[in-house]
Amino acid sequence: MKKSQNGPVNRRNFLKGAAAGAAAFVAKPAVAAAQEQRAAVAAAKPAEVNGPESGKHASDFMVDLFKSLGMEYMFSMCASSFIGIHESIINYAGNKNPECITCTHEEISVAMANGYAKVEGKPVLVCVHGTVGTQHAAMAVYDAWCDRVPIYMVLGNTIDATERGGEVAWVHSAQDPAGIIRDMTKWDDNPVSLAHFAESAVRAYKIAMTPPMGPVAICVDDHMQDGVTPAGLKVPKLAMPSPPQGESAAVAEAAKLLVAAQNPVIMTTRAARTPEGLKLMVELAETLQAGVVDAKRRMNFPTRHPLNGGVPNQADVILALEAGDLSNVTRAAHQRGAKIINISAGELFQKSNYGDYFRYAEVDLPISGDAQATLPSLIEAIKREMTGDRKAAAQARGAKLAEANRQNLERARTDATYAWDANPISTARLSMELWDQIKNEDWSLVTGWVNWPIRLWDFNKHYQYIGRAGGEGVGYHAPASIGAALANKKHGRLTVAIQPDGDFMVAPGVLWTAAHHQIPLLMIMQNNKAYHMEVMYFQRQALARNRSTEGLKIGFGLDKPDIDYAAMAKSMGVAASGPISDPKELGPAIRRGIEVVKRGEPYLIDAVTQAR
Amino acid sequence: MKKILTLLIFVQTLAGQTPAPPAAGNAEKGKATYMKIGCYTCHGTMGQGGAGARLAPNPLAAPAFINYVRKGGPNHSFLGGMPAYSNSIISDADLADIRAYLTSIPAPPPVKSIPLLNQ
């Protein structure tokens, strides 16, 4: 932490000098004047402007660390507390790996990193500024925590109280910045040397990426960034641990239960962490000929696969794989004598304060381990248990499920015909106008709460769907979509989003980021002019008190004036059209939008829609 | 998926499969009331359903329709079921108007006539 007396130009000394100069114009006590005189002498010492006397700048070494971790981007709202890293990315790394992506809010930075990680399977670097930036980021960190998404954060800070240059620096600094988000991170550290920072930077990556994944945070002192890299300091080696698997005897017992079952059902929320996980889920279902009930927090199972679906309340054995709240399922299962197997890494790492562990579920065979990592051994164990008669029973079961699946698709198509020509546009019509024009492309839908696409589209690749906000925080979708679109960009995929209007209004500045960095995304605003979920809660509350529901727009509506989303987009450099409430106009607008997106730019369509 | 399946069953039940008797009520007034008290938030502006059940074009017969609104429905999603509307919130006459509006909504086109739904 010690700095050369003749070290490089120091921002804090510069500020001290300026403060001393300003102070000369006011009367001051003798002691204060003496202190300022000493400060002025220190500030007057010659400064080295071209670089450290030996070695490289500490923040250059930090960038070497981030490169070694495969960081393609730094998402940040610029700030003084990590300006050393920022400058090193520009002038030392040539703004490449990582490349700076300018965000207009720290919640945007982290939510973009969330969307990116769910497509690309790895984190980006997110830098945030001390107390204020970390608090802005907190909501998006919580979403990532609940959603088991690896987020890699560097929190800028000025730890040395004597180096905090003025009131702003003081209120932006903290003794323990990571404490703000500690309950929603897997790990954090506050390194006191560059060597310490190096080890913690690599350790943080390993922890974030080891299932169950989650956010991590490393505090970085701005003084440390200005230092010199000690001779001999190396980037620590990174070797990723294999993910934890279920214990072999328990896996064998699970296989026996599943093969013996008359009607096994698989339930999952986040089993498929990677494309390989999706393949394994298909192999598991086909080996067992069991239906898969996919809560779709990840792309766990193809929507048009004959085994997609199932009725847990009719199952005699339920296999839960990284599932969510199982308490209701287990209660119902035990009433009819059914068994529950749960394979999850959830209990390997959990914190107390937030309720993302749900109500206690009375599972019969709990297996702690990452579901995806356990699937190969489970599939093999099931194959070993499969006798001829069990195979025949499984095939008969699979045929029934396939027929039920076919009927579900037909029912969904019939349901979609209702209000097909409605104005405002039905959400089914919107979904199918979009599907019509992307179905032959290499597409990726990167927003959640999209019931019609899940019912009607053919999802079969892992990147085609990334779930929704883990903590259900409003404001996730727009930035996460743009982060996901950035990840899709290098793969040449067509990224589309059906964007809730209320969610968009939390952080609309992300559109400027998309325009500035030419991130191609077709965003269709689902403009229903209200926070409709809350409207429905209001109606329930009023009726429970036998009072009127006519005030349903008060405090819930997003109208009077209507928000002109196309104008908003254009003001930030994003081409746009709308508002469109006639469904016949939607198809041509989508066609125009796709042309723009294929040129590598974002496009927004403001579609005025039904509530749901 | 469980919620969706349950909702589908619920939707089928409410929409009914048999034609309703001729509406006794004012469809135009019914539409205005339907929008004013917020039926559309769950059921859609054309009664097509959404968070709530499909209601049009063949709503329950008038007595059953009124009875259902008065008593409310079973839980079918995380939002709960249809909340109960008492007589002081909405009168039988208003409900008859709403039912007339729902009955006036044309039947949807068949799936086969919509190319976008055949792919």
Rounded Cα distance, B2 and A104, in Å = 39
Judge: B41–A532 Cβ closer than 8 Å, yes or no.
Answer: yes
Q: Are A419 and A609 in contact (CB under 8 A)?
A: no
Rounded Cα distance, A286 and A274, in Å = 19
- Give a yes or no: residue B117 inside a domain: no
Residue of A529, A536, A545 to mutate when probing chain B, most B C-beta within 10 A:
A536
Q: Dihedral of CA A218/A223/A225/A228: which sign?
A: negative
Among A295, A310, A612, select the one facing B51 at the smallest CB separation. A612
pTM over 0.95: no
Q: Is B76 near chain A, with CB under 8 Å?
A: no
Rounded Cα distance, A114 and A476, in Å = 9
Residue of A267, A308, A417, A553 to mutate when probing chain B, most B C-beta within 10 A:
A417
For chain A, the structural domain boundaries read 11-43, 58-225, 248-409, 418-608
Q: Are A524 and A499 in contact (CB under 8 A)?
A: yes
Please give the share of chain B, as a percent, with pLDDT higher than 70.
77
A510: closest CA among A114, A164, A194? A114
Number of domains in chain B: 1
Structure tokens at A8: 């490089």
In terms of DSSP bridges, do strands A73-76 and A339-344 run parallel, antiparallel, or are they unpaired? unpaired
Alpha carbon separation from B44 to A397, A424, A428, A610, B53 (Å, rounded): 37, 10, 12, 6, 9
pLDDT recorded at residue A156: 97
Q: B81 contacts in A (CB within 8 Å)?
A: none
Q: Are A334 and A362 in contact (CB under 8 A)?
A: yes
Q: A419 contacts in B (CB within 8 Å)?
A: 44-46, 48, 108
In terms of DSSP bridges, do strands A125-129 and A291-294 run parallel, antiparallel, or are they unpaired? unpaired
Q: A547 contacts in B (CB within 8 Å)?
A: 89
Q: Is the peptide bond before A561 cis (omega within 30 degrees of 0)?
A: yes
Give the residue ranges of chain A where pLDDT is below 70.
1-55
Among A427, A535, A544, select the one facing B38 at the smallest CB separation. A535
SS3 state of residue A8 = strand
Judge: A419–B109 Cβ closer than 8 Å, yes or no.
Answer: no
- Give a yes or no: residue B114 inside a domain: no
Structure tokens at A360: 């206690």
Among A312, A422, A436, select the one facing B45 at the smallest CB separation. A422
Q: B8 contacts in A (CB within 8 Å)?
A: 411, 415
pLDDT recorded at residue A495: 98
Pick the CATH number of A248-409 from 3.40.50.1220, 2.40.30.10, 3.30.565.10, 2.70.70.10: 3.40.50.1220
- Domain of B84: which CATH number? 1.10.760.10
Q: Is B74 near chain A, with CB under 8 Å?
A: no
pLDDT recorded at residue A37: 42
Q: Is B83 near chain A, with CB under 8 Å?
A: yes
Residue A258 C-alpha from the chain's centroid: 33
ipTM metric: 0.82
Residue of B7, B31, B41 to mutate when probing chain A, most A C-beta within 10 A:
B41
A139: closest CA among A117, A110, A164? A110
Judge: A413–B108 Cβ closer than 8 Å, yes or no.
Answer: no
Q: B111 contacts in A (CB within 8 Å)?
A: 410, 413-414, 417
Q: For chain B, what is the largest distance between any 2 Cα atoms, rounded to a whole number of angstroms?
A: 48
The alpha-helical segments, DSSP class H, found in A167-274 are 167-172, 194-209, 222-225, 248-260
- Give a yes or no: residue B90 inside a domain: yes
Residue B17 C-alpha from the chain's centroid: 13
Residue A165 burial by CB count (10 A; 0-12/13-18/19+): exposed, middle or buried? middle
pLDDT recorded at residue A1: 36
CA dihedral B34, B35, B38, B42 (to 10 degrees): 80
- CB-CB neighbours of B32 under 10 Å: 15
Domain that holds residue B38: 2-108
Question: Nearest CA to CA, how far is B90 from chain A (Å)?
Answer: 9
Q: Does the domain made of A418-608 have the CATH classification 3.40.50.970?
A: yes
Q: Could you check whether A248-409 and A418-608 share the same CATH topology?
A: yes
Judge: A432–B116 Cβ closer than 8 Å, yes or no.
Answer: yes
Q: Which residue of B has its CA nearest to A269?
A: B1
In terms of DSSP bridges, do strands A264-268 and A291-294 run parallel, antiparallel, or are they unpaired? parallel
Q: Dihedral of CA A15/A20/A24/A28: which sign?
A: positive
CB < 8 Å from A in window 38-67 of B: 38, 40-42, 44-51, 54, 56
Rounded Cα distance, A153 and B44, in Å = 43
Q: How many residues are there in chain B?
A: 119
Among A420, A543, A612, select the one facing B108 at the smallest CB separation. A420
Alpha carbon separation from A407 to A306, A435, B53 (Å, rounded): 11, 20, 19
Judge: B36–A420 Cβ closer than 8 Å, yes or no.
Answer: no
pLDDT recorded at residue A281: 98
Q: Which residue of A has its CA nearest to B85?
A: A543
Q: Is B112 near chain A, with CB under 8 Å?
A: no
Among B83, B88, B109, select the one facing A417 at the smallest CB separation. B109
- Give a yes or no: residue B118 inside a domain: no
Judge: B50–A610 Cβ closer than 8 Å, yes or no.
Answer: yes
- Compute chain A's Rg from CA coordinates: 27
- Give a yes or no: residue B119 inside a domain: no
Looking at the DSSP bridge assignments, the partners of residue A522 are: A496, A603
Average pLDDT along chain B: 83
Among A313, A418, A433, select the one facing B49 at the smallest CB separation. A418
- Give a yes or no: residue B116 inside a domain: no
Q: Are A363 and A342 in contact (CB under 8 A)?
A: yes
> Backbone dihedral region of B74: left (phi > 0), alpha (psi from -120 to 50 degrees) or beta?
beta
A147: closest CA among A193, A114, A122? A114
Structure tokens at A446: 């990167």
Say which CATH class A58-225 falls into.
alpha beta
Rounded Cα distance, B106 and B85, in Å = 26
Q: What is the DSSP letter of A530?
A: B
Structure tokens at A506: 């939390």
